[in-house]
Homo-oligomer: A and B are copies of this chain.
Amino acid sequence: MKRIICILSMLLCMAAETVMAARAPVSEATEECLGCHSSIHPGIVEEWQNSRHARITPREALGVTGLARKVSARTVPDYLLPTAVGCAECHTLNAKVHADTFEHNGVSIHLAVSPRDCATCHTEEAVRYSGNLMAHARKNLAANPLYQDLQQQILGRPVRREGKLTFEPPAAETRQSGCFYCHGTRLEVVGMETRDTVLGEMEFPRLSGWPNQGVGRVNTDGSLGSCAACHTRHAFSIEMARKPHTCRECHVGPDVPAYKVYASSKHGNIYAAMNRQWDFSAVPWTVGKDFTAPTCATCHISLVVNTDGQVLARRTHEMSGRLAWRIFGLIYAHPHPMNPDTTRIRNKSGQPLPTDFDGTYAAEYLIDAGEQVRRTETMQAICLGCHSASWVRGHWKRFERTIRETRSDIRAATGIMADIWARGFAKGPDSDDSPFNEAIERTWCDAWLFYANTVRFSAAMAGGGDYSVFADGRYQLSRRIQELNDWLELRNQLFPPTPPIALRGLPEKPYRVQ
């Protein structure tokens, strides 16, 4: 009897595997790729074999109706309709506009697939994403002289001459494994090379900036971003993108501790304890049924419905559509920029910053109060799937209070820093020097770049008391302000001004763009 049951059990398992493994027909071109690459690169080939791209044809995908539909293009080129979305399908798309297109066994392929390629089927996602701050993450960093200064003082090579420490510009590789790892590199063909392969000598383009999957990567077709940043190659799964570990890749440090705060929140607790029972592939994603606590994607991107099938939030790849405030990365929190290209922004002092050093908004470049309300309500519709109106309002009241308070805290910190510059104890913007290249200036940076950020993340995500207080929170924020004061007061005592000057508070021209 036992044997019979065992055999039956195994048969059931095999049957289930067969169902899972059902695959769409593969094009001849892709078949040819697989001929070699399933041996050479088994890891990525197997990832793809288990992916939805290998199990469904665009024709079938286009046949899905209603909210379950994943392909947003109205039509897909005929030749792509009948076969799986395989190697050849993606790596040959738009061959003419890719600078890295080359002949490979008689086929014109390119190495780096871009959002523009993915747009063939996922048009709306690509369009939305291009309006996202993330798509512009590289340029917004690389073309902003103030950020470039900060980058140089962090990544640069230290040189000391006669007691003066300077940081020389960092190497390209350092920038690529540093800031641009997340912000994205620029992919450029810098030549061709011959490589010895198992099939003999072959020619390949040499790409500078490769490898990279940063969210603002500049592709060889000029498009911005890398879908694989979240939909990891070659599975491109919605499941992985919906889990918080994907976001952790770039959102874990003290400058942007979203993952840490989430993991210590009630939401993160529920996720960690219960996610095995959730369905991360369901489209649309039904609150309560498919999951019982939000992940990053739930609040920021996903199409979320209630158990009646009513839409709580529409799918978006333009995350800022649900965000009223920009709470990290800048000296002060501020309403979200209107345009994802932030290099256009100028504060009233003419700097490429969304606020002045005293916190004043560069208001004409930022969304207005009405838009903030609209975005807040878009986000709150998701909260209300589990929480009462008074719960949500109570939470938001604390969050917005925290925005105001951390702005005020950083004004205090910046006031002390400005006095230090005014007394000449450090050389700052007034002296056309970097505000980031001296130890005491970093004390000031810590306050806004790490601790005010963390406090705001904790408030935004109800992330537990620790990240609000003792874990890179208000304890450390108040401490840095105390340290700024301590440092200044010792020097005031040792080197009193002659004649005594009044402390000036915030400088008028805190930083000049060169």
Interface residues of A (CB under 8 A from B): 2, 5-6, 8-9, 11-12, 15-16, 18-19, 38-47, 111, 153-160, 163, 165, 167, 171, 173-174, 176-183, 195, 197, 204, 206-207, 210-211, 213-214, 232, 235, 239-240, 243, 245-246, 248-256, 259, 263-266, 268-270, 272-274, 276, 286-289, 292, 306-308, 310, 384-391, 394-395, 397-399, 401-402, 405, 408-409, 412-413, 415-416, 437-440, 442, 449-450, 458-459, 462, 464-471, 473-475, 478-479, 481-483, 485-486, 488-489, 492, 494, 503
**A235-B41 in contact given A157-B409, A466-B182 (Cβ < 8 Å):** no
Contact check: which of B177, B450, B481 meets A459 at CB < 8 Å?
B177
Chain A interface helix/strand/loop/mixed? helix
Q: Tell me, in angstroms, the Cα distance from A44 to B391 when the chains sit together.
A: 13
Q: Tell me, in angstroms, the Cα distance from A84 to B260 when the chains sit together.
A: 37
**Can you list 11 A-B pairs with a CB-CB distance of less than 8 A?**
A2-B15, A5-B11, A5-B12, A155-B474, A171-B405, A178-B468, A180-B465, A211-B391, A250-B465, A252-B264, A253-B467
In the assembled complex, which residues on chain B have CB atoms less than 8 Å from the CB atom of A405? 157, 171, 174
For A214, give the chain B residue with the smallest CB separation: B465
CB of A182 within 8 A of CB of B465, answer yes
**A153-B478 in contact given A15-B5, A307-B46, A394-B210 (Cβ < 8 Å):** yes
CB of A266 within 8 A of CB of B213, answer yes
In the assembled complex, which residues on chain B have CB atoms less than 8 Å from the CB atom of A232? 266, 269-270
CB of B288 within 8 A of CB of A211, answer no
For A14, give the chain B residue with the smallest CB separation: B5
CB of B273 within 8 A of CB of A276, answer no
CB of B243 within 8 A of CB of A272, answer yes
A469 to chain B, nearest CB (A): 5
CB of B2 within 8 A of CB of A9, answer no
In the assembled complex, which residues on chain B have CB atoms less than 8 Å from the CB atom of A470? 253-256, 449-450
Q: Tell me, in angstroms, the Cα distance from A204 to B183 when the chains sit together.
A: 47
CB of B210 within 8 A of CB of A464, answer no
CB of A401 within 8 A of CB of B6, answer no
A53 to chain B, nearest CB (A): 15
CB of A466 within 8 A of CB of B398, answer no
Contact check: which of B43, B274, B503 meets A240 at CB < 8 Å?
B274
In the assembled complex, which residues on chain B have CB atoms less than 8 Å from the CB atom of A8? 12
CB of B276 within 8 A of CB of A276, answer yes
Q: Tell me, in angstroms, the Cα distance from A439 to B490 when the chains sit together.
A: 12
Q: Tell me, in angstroms, the Cα distance from A70 to B6 when the chains sit together.
A: 26
CB of B386 within 8 A of CB of A41, answer yes
In the assembled complex, which residues on chain B have CB atoms less than 8 Å from the CB atom of A47? 288, 292
CB of A306 within 8 A of CB of B42, answer yes
Contact check: which of B177, B248, B310 meets A458 at CB < 8 Å?
B177
In the assembled complex, which residues on chain B have CB atoms less than 8 Å from the CB atom of A387? 41, 44, 211
Q: Tell me, in angstroms, the Cα distance from A174 to B284 when the chains sit together.
A: 37
Q: Tell me, in angstroms, the Cα distance from A416 to B240 when the chains sit together.
A: 47
CB of B246 within 8 A of CB of A269, answer yes
CB of B158 within 8 A of CB of A478, answer yes
Contact check: which of B171, B178, B264 meets A248 at CB < 8 Å?
B264
A505 to chain B, nearest CB (A): 10
CB of A398 within 8 A of CB of B246, answer no
A309 to chain B, nearest CB (A): 10
CB of B465 within 8 A of CB of A386, answer no
**A174-B402 in contact given A38-B307, A232-B266, A273-B246 (Cβ < 8 Å):** yes
Q: Tell me, in angstroms, the Cα distance from A440 to B440 when the chains sit together.
A: 16
CB of B265 within 8 A of CB of A482, answer no
Most buried by B among A391, A394, A474, A475: A475
Contact check: which of B19, B173, B401 meets A398 at CB < 8 Å?
B173
Q: Tell me, in angstroms, the Cα distance from A148 to B387 when the chains sit together.
A: 32
CB of A479 within 8 A of CB of B439, answer yes
CB of A179 within 8 A of CB of B442, answer no
Contact check: which of B158, B255, B391, B412 meets A158 at CB < 8 Å?
B412
Contact check: which of B388, B415, B482 meets A439 at CB < 8 Å?
B482
Q: Tell me, in angstroms, the Cα distance from A473 to B154 when the chains sit together.
A: 9
For A469, give the chain B residue with the smallest CB separation: B178
For A44, give the chain B residue with the smallest CB separation: B386
CB of B264 within 8 A of CB of A471, answer no
CB of B42 within 8 A of CB of A211, answer no
CB of A177 within 8 A of CB of B41, answer no
